[in-house]
């Protein structure tokens, strides 16, 4: 790591990290609160240095399909958007999953439904982790809680996407996208050469070498017996990901009697709430899922044997709480605390919610 500490927005960190991790192409469409991703790329002009392609598409529908096109050739490609734009992308995301293509989608969430608000929210948890598009598929979902993680997760998401030939998503929120924080950017990694891409991705549509069969990137299969086998293969892959890629952080959990579960900016606020509660003698801990899928089900199930109650703290009407309850399976009470429509809770509110809902 080059230890140069910089101050920048989360969205800007995404852009710089993309260039530095050898991304081949970014395709996007402006939408608040994430437009700085493309703005930064257009200002830096990485095509002059690394050859990375950056293109403003005519819509989110088009940008995700450009990602689908680029990913088919084995290239490291990405897009970013915010909630309404990501809704438009769901068809393309389903195609990416169905054709087993690696790609990165960044969603800097804002409040909904509909056009909603441009203020931060976490109400796309369901969309991200339970499907969003059609069919039985999963996205590898990383939830950054700092500008540093915005930078770090770009490379990680690409690595996971290529490892499993599956689209990955960084599910951030308007707070993490817009706030400025110090960050150490990853070291420059050169883009892979075409030869390296072909070696890493022998399945890619790169122009048929006569030494191999032609490669066809498709999610279509009309024979139900074959399509069932395809789906079973996907499910086996998802199971492997669930076994190997769960990531989470435990904060003040060792002696906790009550547990908060929160991701993204909510986890930051919950961390402060834990400190305030402890000053009052309440042993409060925080479990922060870093991967929303695969979800840290096992570790939450273990905490159900240790703590008295859990509170799922989310900027939504109660989405992740369903997964927490599934993990806890009725052993201890699991409550939800949330604010909606772009309002962000304070640490005081969370401490108060712990007292009124759990104690």
Partner 1 sequence: MALEDIIKPENLVYKKPDIMNDNPMHYCPGCSHGVVHKLIAEVIEEMGLVEDTIGVTPVGCAVFAYNYIDIDWEEAAHGRAPALATAIKRLRPNKLVFTYQGDGDLAAIGTAETIHACNRGESIAIIFINNGIYGMTGGQMAPTTIEGMKTATCPYGRDVKLNGYPLKITNQLKDLEGTRYVTRQSVQTAAAVRKTKKAIRKAFENCMDGKGGANVVEVVSTCSSGWKLTPEKANKWMEENMFPQYPLGDLIDKDANQ
Where does this chain bind partner 1 (CB under 8 A)? 24-25, 27, 53, 55, 57-59, 61-63, 65-70, 72-73, 75, 77, 91-92, 95, 99, 194, 205-210, 213-220
Which lies closer to partner 1 via its Cβ, residue 209 or residue 233? 209
Closest distance between partner 1 and the C-beta of residue 194, in Å?
A: 8
Interaxial angle between packed helices 224-244 and 147-164, expressed in degrees from 0 to 180 and rounded to the nearest 10:
140
C-alpha angle with apex 84: 82 to 86, nearest 5 degrees? 60
Which lies closer to partner 1 via its Cβ, residue 77 or residue 287? 77
Neighbours of 26 (CB within 10 A): 30
Closest distance between partner 1 and the C-beta of residue 186, in Å?
A: 22
Which lies closer to partner 1 via its Cβ, residue 55 or residue 332? 55
Contact assessment for residue 265 and residue 145, using Cβ atoms and an 8 Å cutoff? yes
Interaxial angle between packed helices 60-72 and 90-98, expressed in degrees from 0 to 180 and rounded to the nearest 10:
10
Contact assessment for residue 46 and residue 131, using Cβ atoms and an 8 Å cutoff? no
From 130, 133, 320, 141, select the one nearest 241 (Cα to Cα).
141
Closest distance between partner 1 and the C-beta of residue 137, in Å?
A: 14
Which lies closer to partner 1 via its Cβ, residue 103 or residue 353? 103
Closest distance between partner 1 and the C-beta of residue 79, in Å?
A: 10
Closest distance between partner 1 and the C-beta of residue 104, in Å?
A: 14
Which lies closer to partner 1 via its Cβ, residue 214 or residue 305? 214
In the 8-state DSSP scheme, what is residue 143?
-
264 conformational bin, left if phi > 0, alpha if psi -120 to 50, beta if neither: left
């Amino acid at each position: 790591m080059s230890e140069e500490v910089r101050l920048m927005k989360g969205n800007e960190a995404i852009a710089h990290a993309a260039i530095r991790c050898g991304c081949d192409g970014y395709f996007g469409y402006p939408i608040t609160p994430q437009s700085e991703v493309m703005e930064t790329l257009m200002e830096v002009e990485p095509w002059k240095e690394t050859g990375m392609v950056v293109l403003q598409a005519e819509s989110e529908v088009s940008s995700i399909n450009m990602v689908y096109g680029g990913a088919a050739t084995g290239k490291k490609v990405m897009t970013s958007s915010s909630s309404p734009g990501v809704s438009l992308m769901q068809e393309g995301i389903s195609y990416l999953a169905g054709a087993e293509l690696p790609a990165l989608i960044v969603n800097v969430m804002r409040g909904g439904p509909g056009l909603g608000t441009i203020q931060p929210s976490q109400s796309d948890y369901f969309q991200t982790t339970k499907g969003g598009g059609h069919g039985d598929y999963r996205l590898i979902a990383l939830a950054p809680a700092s500008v540093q993680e915005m930078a770090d997760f770009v490379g990680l998401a690409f690595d996971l996407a290529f490892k499993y030939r599956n689209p990955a998503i960084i599910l951030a929120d308007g707070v993490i996208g817009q706030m400025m924080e110090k960050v150490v950017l990853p070291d420059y990694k050169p883009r892979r050469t075409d030869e390296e891409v072909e070696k890493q991705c022998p399945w890619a549509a790169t122009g048929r070498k006569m030494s191999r069969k032609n490669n066809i990137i498709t999610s279509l299969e009309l024979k139900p017996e074959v399509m069932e086998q395809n789906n079973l293969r996907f499910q086996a892959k998802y199971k492997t990901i669930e076994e190997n890629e769960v990531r989470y952080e435990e904060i003040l959990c060792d002696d906790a009697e009550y547990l908060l579960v929160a991701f993204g900016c909510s986890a930051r606020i919950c961390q402060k709430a834990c400190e305030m509660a402890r000053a009052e003698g309440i042993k409060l801990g925080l479990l922060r899922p870093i991967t929303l899928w695969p979800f840290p089900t096992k570790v939450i199930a273990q905490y159900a044997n240790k703590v008295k109650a859990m509170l799922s703290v989310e900027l939504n009407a109660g989405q992740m709480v369903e997964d927490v309850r599934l993990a806890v399976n009725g052993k201890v009470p699991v409550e939800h605390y949330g604010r909606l429509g772009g309002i962000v809770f304070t640490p005081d509110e969370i401490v108060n919610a712990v007292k009124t809902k759990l104690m």
